[in-house]
Amino acid sequence: MNVISTVKDIRTLLLTYKQKQRTIAFVPTMGKLHDGHLSLIREAKKRADIVVVSIFVNPTQFGPNEDYNQYPRDLNTDLKHCLSLKVDVVFTPSASDLYGKATHPTEIYIPTLSQLHCGQSRKTFFKGICSVVLRFFMIIQPDIAIFGEKDYQQFILLSQMVTDLFLPITMISAPIYREKNGLAMSSRNTYLSKSQLQEAAEIYTALTNAKQLFQQGETSSNVLVEQITQHIQSNTSIRIDYCVGIDYQLLTSKNHLKRNDRILFAGYLNKTRLIDNISLV
Ligand code: AMP
């Protein structure tokens, strides 16, 4: 396994694979890898000759009062996981190498979509994500990129970026990986105590109950969202940031939901931000 920390070195290495016509699948992460990340890597292994995983806590997607400094980092364990899955290349760039020397480096911004849902409380979040992922795409030039549905809005935004900029990359999404109690796996779950981990699992219970209601014929977003809100308020101390029924392609909120549409949820347990979503099928 090659562990590479500079843009120059990874370009040199990837060129040798490209000259041999090897296909490349790319899995971007912020590290502190859990089974959700590993499921993306397994998917990547199935789909391409070479798997590249990036581990980079991207400063530009964090707001000034967010957890950039506290965000969990554990490179040694991450590398062990990657080695055990036979990852070919782990890319661990520095922020200065990725963003260069300019006082105001190029930013990528998708209007409107960036301001919805997570973008309402995290104003510059998606600008930071698009700005870093486009850099990775230009450096690595993968054939395939794999993202988790856990960050559903992120996947739709990045897919639009790929379409808008004519990038020759196939975007693949992978299902949300969960703990036994239903809690969506997240690096931020390391902030939670044992009892908070149980409390946070109520998000999935609430989403699953709403999905059952949908399956029984209830299509009103208001009714489904209200049921989730009630459940969260009665069973947890989670402060809801948003809960919304959306069109699964456009991301816009809808009054009446159809098959494949989604309910997105975000909230805070103390200071820990938790997001989740469910597909209505
Ligand atoms: P992160 O390290 O949180 O930036 O996530 C890196 C990638 O892993 C993103 O595409 C996430 O959507 C994905 N991911 C994070 N958590 C999960 C999960 N529980 N199940 C599946 N994919 C996940």
Is the CB of 61 within 6 Å of ligand 1? no
Contacts of 132 (CB under 8 A, 6+ apart): 28, 56, 58, 60, 61, 98
Is the CB of 148 within 6 Å of ligand 1? yes
Is the CB of 36 within 6 Å of ligand 1? yes
Answer yes or no: 104 catalytic. Answer: no
How many angstroms does the Cα of residue 216 sit away from the middle of ligand 1? 31
pLDDT (tens, 9 = 90+) of the chain, 281 residues, equals 999 999 999 999 999 999 999 999 999 999 999 999 999 999 999 999 999 999 999 999 999 999 999 999 999 999 999 999 999 999 999 999 999 999 999 999 999 999 999 999 999 999 999 999 999 999 999 999 999 999 999 999 999 999 999 999 999 999 999 999 999 999 999 999 999 999 999 999 999 999 999 999 999 999 999 999 999 999 999 999 999 999 999 999 999 999 999 999 999 999 999 999 999 99
Catalytic residue among 37, 81, 104, 117: 37
DSSP strands (E only) in 78-216: 89-91, 144-148, 170-174
Phi first, then psi, for residue 262 (nearest 5°) are -130, 155
Q: Report the alpha-carbon distance of residue 226 to residue 255 in Å, rounded.
A: 13
Phi first, then psi, for residue 6 (nearest 5°) are -125, 150
Is the CB of 186 within 6 Å of ligand 1? yes
How many angstroms does the Cα of residue 194 sit away from the middle of ligand 1? 21
Does pTM top 0.85 for this prediction?
Answer: yes
How many angstroms does the Cα of residue 184 sit away from the middle of ligand 1? 10
Query: Encoding tokens for residue 103?
Result: 């006082």
